[in-house]
Structure 1
Amino acid sequence: MTKTLVKVGLDERSYPIRISSGLLEKIGIDLHERNIGTKYGVISDDRVAALHGSRFMQSLTDAGIRAELLTFPAGEASKHLQTVTALSSELAQRGFDRKDALIALGGGVTGDITGFLASIYLRGIPFVQVPTTLLSQVDSSVGGKTGVDIPEGKNLVGTFYQPKAVYIDIDVLNTLPADELRGGIAEVIKYGVINDAEFFAFLEQQREAVFALQQDVLTKLIARCCEIKAWVVEQDEREGGLRRILNFGHTIGHAVEAASGFQLIHGYAVAIGMCAAAELAVCSGCLTTESAERIRRLIAAYGLPTAIPANINREEIKKYLLTDKKTVGGRVFYVLPERIGAVKITDQVREEDVDTVLAA
């Protein structure tokens, strides 16, 4: 199959990221050759299952692979321990054992739930990522972060558990709702800000091509994001240092998302968080006003929000900031841009500057 291949190099736990048009119906052939599991449990939300489930399951059957589909209700509201418990019981009732494997067919919620489930079911079975949203293709499907939400905050319960392979079919983006596509672009912009000024400029130039879902542009875009994330994960798999740069926009973004009752989609919250982080960087004196405006302008150009909605309580946001999983000893760590293409990690941000940015 014609494809772009990116590798995540983690010694014996290394795995490929395959990026191609029309890949969904060919995954079974590759899985058959790799022999990751005797039987596969395909985990999907009910919305993605309705769109792609039958076709994907048939492709596995045609490749001689035994697989069963398990679904849960779509949405962030399902990303909790009760869903993991219910899926665990279903796997046990269907006789899944340690020689079997899971496949995450869906977006970031599905990938996080499936990865977490795979890491704890029978003390760990293999799993494969088949991301169906732009956000999950460029970010959450790569790197091994899994987790679920609890009332106190987002992703506070989880594990680091790497997949055996990631399969990215860019054609599935044709069925993606417009807001989900824009939400994915927020994570794409993140990579340009934290690591690649040339890629940031590429995004400035290719807006129309991205929204037109031009295959060559999407392939290049997705591959570059995966390359950057793979490079970071290879150096810091468990977020001891460098990997924290991937949280650009997420510290305030996650707090805004939680304070909205998860009514604000993740990508939109990250977009808001990136604008807030850029403003904090200006207040801290490490970023020019011009660069902050350039970041905000690109985010706005892709139809993403740049300010916290007025109806979200600012004190609630501050409460969630203190329970963020990246907070240590009561100190909130922020990823602040120093220029487009480079960021720093710091807990030296004045509370009055945070208050000013949240109030803006």
Structure 2
Amino acid sequence: MTTTVIPVSGADPYDVVVGRGVLAELADRLGPRVRKVLVVHPPTLGARAAALREALADRFEVYLAEVPDAEDAKRVEVAAFCWQILGQTDFTRSDAVVGFGGGSTTDLAGFVAATWLRGVRLVQVPTSVAGMVDAAIGGKTGINTAEGKNLVGSFYAPAAVLVDLDLLDTLPRNELLAGFAEIVKCGFIGETEILDLVEADVDRVTDPASDEFRRVVELAIGLKARVVGEDFTDLGVREILNYGHTLGHAIEYAERYRWRHGAAISVGMVFAAELSRLAGRLSDDAVDRHRRILDSLSLPTDYPVGRWDTLLSVMRRDKKARGSVLRFIVLDAIGKPTVLTGPEDALLFAAYQDVGV
């Protein structure tokens, strides 16, 4: 099968390579100057990480850093563990880090690469749907703190992102569907063909072996590549990629990260749609379309109504807030995102009532 190369422009341009078997390009993408490589991976990918080390051994001195699964990886103690390995094995600025795992792993690996010696080469190899279409692309790296998600981090562009669809063949169905929240988000904010494909045949579009699956993955990557190429440091248009994320991140925090990211973002998107409707921007039919699509993907669209005070306090610490003023990405129509600044608390609570159970 042919590969698709999606360029990401900016001060440090790079390619996102999509296809099957593209992991074979890793050695070349690391570049001729690199001598040592740290592969950061979760326990579930231990065997594959070991095989990757063997595949790279002819050209590089390869070390493995096994880190916890999911959001447990995004802690300063885990980053310090990776820094310790880099220090004890004498990594220099001409060496490299590889993020090999889901979005949490690539977030952590990116942060480690950005901070070691103020920046070493980074190649991301995402192994989850959300990692492939979102987390590994765009150069946002970070860890969580006790106060919230992604509050410590940096913008740091990788040298390449390798999206090898072969890595999804053994992904559990529920993990794959959770990752689709980030794909349909791109449909709601711009690539409306994604929504049409999901509505036409949800089973086929969520089958990693299908042409439709690859199509929606490439559409989502293409949208993100265009947006981050225009606004790398999140000062303008890049904010639209946070559709559903303000409430979604608050839900993740409230649930102590036991909810999958995609599940929380799904509820967040319904909340954002309801907020858009109550603000007089979005039609009832468009809100209903959110629920139908997310329901078809077995993603949640509601959350306990009694948790509002906790969620509101977390949202006030959101990165998009300016001082005490909350800001939300909302829709004027499907595919037309905008920013709603400083909505009244009563309006926010009313929107939440519409997703509460």
Give the TM-score category using the shorter length: over 0.9
Instruction: Confirm or deny that 1:40 pairs with 2:34.
Output: no
TM-score, length-scaled by structure 2? 0.95
Equivalent residues of 2:29, 2:160 under 8 A apart: no
Quote the Cα distance in structure 1 between the aligned partners of 2:13 and 2:350: 44
C-alpha distance after superposition, 1:34-59 (max 9, x if no partner): 32622211111112224x21222222
Instruction: Summarize the Cα distance change of 1:60–1:218 in structure 2 as closer, same or farther, 3 Å threshold.
Output: farther
Q: How far is the alpha carbon of 1:5 from its aligned partner?
A: 0.7
Provide the secondary structure at the position in 2 that maps to 1:180: helix
Provide the secondary structure at the position in 2 that maps to 1:146: strand
C-alpha distance after superposition, 1:297-318 (max 9, x if no partner): 10110010001146x7221111
Quote the Cα distance in structure 1 between the aligned partners of 2:273 and 2:17: 33
After the TM superposition, list the runs of 4 or more consecutive aligned residues in structure 1 that deviate by more than 6 angstroms: none
Instruction: Specify the alignment match of 1:339 in structure 2.
Output: 333
Quote the Cα distance in structure 1 between the aligned partners of 2:162 and 2:173: 22
Provide the secondary structure at the position in 1 that maps to 2:139: coil
Quote the Cα distance in structure 2 between the aligned partners of 1:53 and 1:134: 18
Instruction: Determine which of 60, 70, 75 is the counterpart of 2:56.
Output: 60
Residue pairs, 1:267-286, within 5 angstroms:
267-286=262-281
Task: In structure 2, give the amino acid aligned to 1:16.
Answer: D
Instruction: Summarize the Cα distance change of 1:218–1:57 in structure 2 as closer, same or farther, 3 Å threshold.
Output: farther
Instruction: Determine which of 270, 291, 302 is the counterpart of 1:296.
Output: 291
Equivalent residues of 2:206, 2:213 under 8 A apart: no
Quote the Cα distance in structure 2 between the aligned partners of 1:104 and 1:88: 14
Instruction: Specify the alignment match of 1:30 in structure 2.
Output: 28
Quote the Cα distance in structure 2 between the aligned partners of 1:217 and 1:57: 33
Equivalent residues of 1:148, 1:155 under 8 A apart: yes
Instruction: Summarize the Cα distance change of 1:216–1:36 in structure 2 as closer, same or farther, 3 Å threshold.
Output: farther
Equivalent residues of 1:259, 1:316 under 8 A apart: yes
Quote the Cα distance in structure 1 between the aligned partners of 2:292 and 2:122: 39
Provide the secondary structure at the position in 2 that maps to 1:329: coil
Residue pairs, 1:1-360, within 5 angstroms:
2-11=2-11, 13-24=12-23, 26-31=24-29, 34-35=31-32, 37-50=34-47, 52-61=48-57, 64-309=59-304, 313-359=307-353, 360=356
Quote the Cα distance in structure 1 between the aligned partners of 2:340 and 2:237: 12
Quote the Cα distance in structure 2 between the aligned partners of 1:233 and 1:130: 19
Unaligned runs of 5+ in 2: none
Task: In structure 2, give the amino acid aligned to 1:200.
Answer: L
Equivalent residues of 2:106, 2:126 under 8 A apart: yes
Provide the secondary structure at the position in 2 that maps to 1:159: strand
Quote the Cα distance in structure 2 between the aligned partners of 1:219 and 1:184: 14
Identity of aligned residues (%): 33
Equivalent residues of 1:28, 1:59 under 8 A apart: no
Q: How far is the alpha carbon of 1:356 from its aligned partner?
A: 2.0
Q: How far is the alpha carbon of 1:218 from its aligned partner?
A: 2.4
Equivalent residues of 2:29, 2:159 under 8 A apart: no
Provide the secondary structure at the position in 1 that maps to 2:57: helix
Quote the Cα distance in structure 2 between the aligned partners of 1:131 and 1:78: 15
Quote the Cα distance in structure 1 between the aligned partners of 2:216 and 2:32: 30
Q: How far is the alpha carbon of 1:29 from its aligned partner?
A: 4.5
C-alpha distance after superposition, 1:228-272 (max 9, x if no partner): 011101111101110000000001111111111111111100000
Quote the Cα distance in structure 2 between the aligned partners of 1:59 and 1:300: 42
Unaligned runs of 5+ in 1: none
For the aligned residue pairs, the C-alpha RMSD in angstroms reads: 1.6
Q: How far is the alpha carbon of 1:206 from its aligned partner?
A: 3.5
Provide the secondary structure at the position in 2 that maps to 1:175: coil
After TM superposition, the structure 1 stretch with the greater mean CA deviation from structure 2, 142-151 or 64-73, is: 64-73
Quote the Cα distance in structure 1 between the aligned partners of 2:207 and 2:125: 22
Quote the Cα distance in structure 2 between the aligned partners of 1:292 and 1:200: 13
Task: In structure 1, give the amino acid aligned to 2:50.
Answer: S
